[in-house]
Structure 1
Amino acid sequence: MIKVSVIVPNYNHAPYLKERLDSIFNQSFQSFEVILLDDNSTDNSKEILVAYAKNEKATHFIINDENSGSPFKQWNKGIGLATGEYIWIAESDDTCDLNFLEEQVKALEQNDITVAKTIILTDNIKTEEELRNHFQFTYNTNSLKPEHFIDYCPIGNVSSVVFKREILNKESMNFSSFDIIGDMMFYFENFLEKKIVYTPTTNSYFRRKKDGLSNLSKKDINYYKKYFNEQAFLLKKISKAVPGEFNNQIKKRLTQRFNKIKNRLSFNQKISLTYLSIYINYLKSNKEI
């Protein structure tokens, strides 16, 4: 049986694809399949992927006819195709050490989820800065609890994670309907109460984006609306899963996220119907927590 299913979701990451795919196919641990997914890229990603799709370990190569608009839909598609005992979602602009799978698979003998040490890439240069995985640095826990999702996403980057396929909660795979916090929803739906461990014996490398999904400074009001609605949904979900003593903390985070948006809007945006709908959802969500 194939040990690891490696899902590579790509959209317009041609400058990084060769480095990423070489880091996968040249792993010291070789019991894996590779599922190549392209979300209708407009750069030359497809030409690069075609060459790697000829490798015998590439079991699927799928190019979407239209862009899905969400990397999380690609995650979901890859999970549906995976046959391995373990799953690794290897984002196409990241990279890793060649012993990454070897060390992660060793750790999975005693755990459900492993998260490798993650180093930040800035301008294609490996820095000395480590991406914070809050389950380790903040919560010091060996299993995720609902309250660990109130303040932060507990895992910094999905490329650093390998997990057992059997832990997936197939009845709750709603994360792909989220455009912005689909990663948090995925962890919340599938990783709660599972045994998680930090692996310092290998490195994953996260490419820091200057204008990624988490950067709200240059977004329009429709993006803000979607961002707040998704955050409010998750906070309400958390409030139903934790003791009442956490409700004040959750309400505080809801207000902080609302103010984060409000403080970025112009006067004209604040008198729009879109802002009114955000405000109404804020009041409603505050009551429901």
Structure 2
Amino acid sequence: MIQFSIIIPNYNHSKYLRERIESVINQSYQNFEIIILDDASTDNSREVIENYRTHAKVKAIIYNETNTGLQSLQWIKGIEAASFDWIWVAESDDIAEPNFLNDAAAEIGNQNKAVIYYTDSYHMKSAEKDPSQVKFSSMKGNYFNTGHWNINYSEDGIVEIDTYMKYVCTINNVSCCVVPKKEALDVLYQFPHMIFYNDWLFYIQMLERCPVVYSASCQNWYRIHQESHFSTRGTGLIKRKECFNILCYLYKAPYITGKNQLVRFFTEQYLGIGIWKERKYIVPLFAFCLKRSPAVFLKFLTHLLVIKITRKKIKYIF
């Protein structure tokens, strides 16, 4: 029987935390344990969390005394405390539908190997759940001009990376995903800690080890708000540096095709967007990229100058 360890990492999401925990506890599939982590929140998250200390499903509650600001460190801590072989990192500001784990268990049970399982998600911008809100399958399908995410599918991990994942993190967010514990720790123990794009690189490295299984059923609500991790921390320089690191990782990978096209895509969608309006970042970004990979930097710089000179209009992903 499939058993899940559910990691709920939290930082200052007290207003969403109860709804998140309840959406986990009330899953129709009940073979799971819960591990709650708090990264030294300054709101009343601890008060909310303590209400669940004696709940039968809660295996552990772990508090940090100082804030790390790094999701991957929290993931490692939670997964190390896990008893079971399948991990669901349920971010503290998202919401799960009651059948998320039931569907995951059914799909995983059909496999005789470690897989990455994920579902479609709603892009939740309102305070309440509203099924009329945009689905990630529609957003991705519109950009790539495909119905790929409208139906269930399974795919070899390397093929998935080279077809879609090399361009954008097509696994919508960590809350919609279940991963095998052993492979997740293998990746995370060697992981370069990132602030913004750690999930993208994590999935790339997981897909190098495992095939992917996708459900077109919307079983996750990805909440967009001003206090979200991606919205509140760091600067455009940090984001661009992290994107360049991912680009270099992909560029070096032997299975990646169309590498010059990939550099152009990263230049248009990540590295170059708004750079001429944020001139203070140009010199430190160029210095970082040149040191990281002179060959990739030269291609990036060439594409950047072509875009500026030709005033090329860019079709952005989202």
Write out the 4+ residue segments of structure 1 that deviate beyond 6 Å after TM superposition.
none
Distance 1:264 1:210, change over 3 A: farther
For residue 242 of structure 2, what is the aligned residue in structure 1? 230
Q: Deviations over 1:23-66 (max 9, x none)?
A: 11121111111000001111111001011121122111011000
For residue 69 of structure 1, what is the aligned residue in structure 2? 69
Kindly indicate whether the alpha-carbon contact (under 8 Å) linking 1:73 and 1:176 is maintained by their aligned counterparts in 2.
no
What's the CA shift for 1:143? 2.8
What's the CA shift for 1:86? 0.8
Kindly indicate whether the alpha-carbon contact (under 8 Å) linking 2:37 and 2:62 is maintained by their aligned counterparts in 1.
yes
SS at match of 1:177: coil
Residue of 102, 108, 117 corresponding to 1:114: 117
What's the CA shift for 1:214? 5.1
TM-score, length basis structure 1: 0.85
Q: Give the Cα separation in 2 of the matches to 1:241 and 1:227.
A: 21
Matches within 5 A, 1:32-111: 32-111=32-111
For residue 15 of structure 1, what is the aligned residue in structure 2? 15
What's the CA shift for 1:20? 0.8
Kindly indicate whether the alpha-carbon contact (under 8 Å) linking 1:27 and 1:100 is maintained by their aligned counterparts in 2.
yes
For residue 183 of structure 2, what is the aligned residue in structure 1? 167
For residue 312 of structure 2, what is the aligned residue in structure 1? none
What's the CA shift for 1:230? 1.3
Residue of 269, 275, 279 corresponding to 2:286: 279
Amino acid at match of 1:144: G
For residue 193 of structure 2, what is the aligned residue in structure 1? 177
SS at match of 2:157: coil
Kindly indicate whether the alpha-carbon contact (under 8 Å) linking 2:76 and 2:188 is maintained by their aligned counterparts in 1.
no
Kindly indicate whether the alpha-carbon contact (under 8 Å) linking 1:258 and 1:282 is maintained by their aligned counterparts in 2.
no
What's the CA shift for 1:96? 1.2
What's the CA shift for 1:193? 5.2
Q: Give the Cα separation in 2 of the matches to 1:219 and 1:72.
A: 15
| Number of residue pairs aligned between Structure 1 and Structure 2 | 278
1:154 maps to 2:170: yes
Distance 1:20 1:130, change over 3 A: same
Amino acid at match of 2:251: S
Distance 1:25 1:246, change over 3 A: same
Kindly indicate whether the alpha-carbon contact (under 8 Å) linking 2:149 and 2:216 is maintained by their aligned counterparts in 1.
no
Which segment is superposed worse, 47-56 or 169-178? 169-178
Kindly indicate whether the alpha-carbon contact (under 8 Å) linking 1:180 and 1:230 is maintained by their aligned counterparts in 2.
yes
Kindly indicate whether the alpha-carbon contact (under 8 Å) linking 2:9 and 2:92 is maintained by their aligned counterparts in 1.
yes
Q: Give the Cα separation in 2 of the matches to 1:19 and 1:53.
A: 16
What's the CA shift for 1:246? 1.7
Amino acid at match of 1:119: Y
SS at match of 1:49: helix
Q: Deviations over 1:166-185 (max 9, x none)?
A: 43361663446111111011
Q: Give the Cα separation in 1 of the matches to 2:196 and 2:216.
A: 29
For residue 305 of structure 2, what is the aligned residue in structure 1? none
5+ long unaligned stretches in structure 2: 142-147, 300-318
Which segment is superposed worse, 81-90 or 70-79? 70-79
Residue of 170, 174, 192 corresponding to 2:208: 192
Kindly indicate whether the alpha-carbon contact (under 8 Å) linking 2:167 and 2:266 is maintained by their aligned counterparts in 1.
no
What's the CA shift for 1:213? 5.4
Q: What is the aligned-residue RMSD (CA, Å)?
A: 2.7
TM-score, length basis structure 2: 0.78
What's the CA shift for 1:6? 0.1
Q: Give the Cα separation in 1 of the matches to 2:255 and 2:120.
A: 32
Q: Give the Cα separation in 2 of the matches to 1:48 and 1:165.
A: 28
Residue of 144, 160, 175 corresponding to 2:157: 144
Q: Deviations over 1:84-103 (max 9, x none)?
A: 12110000111111121111
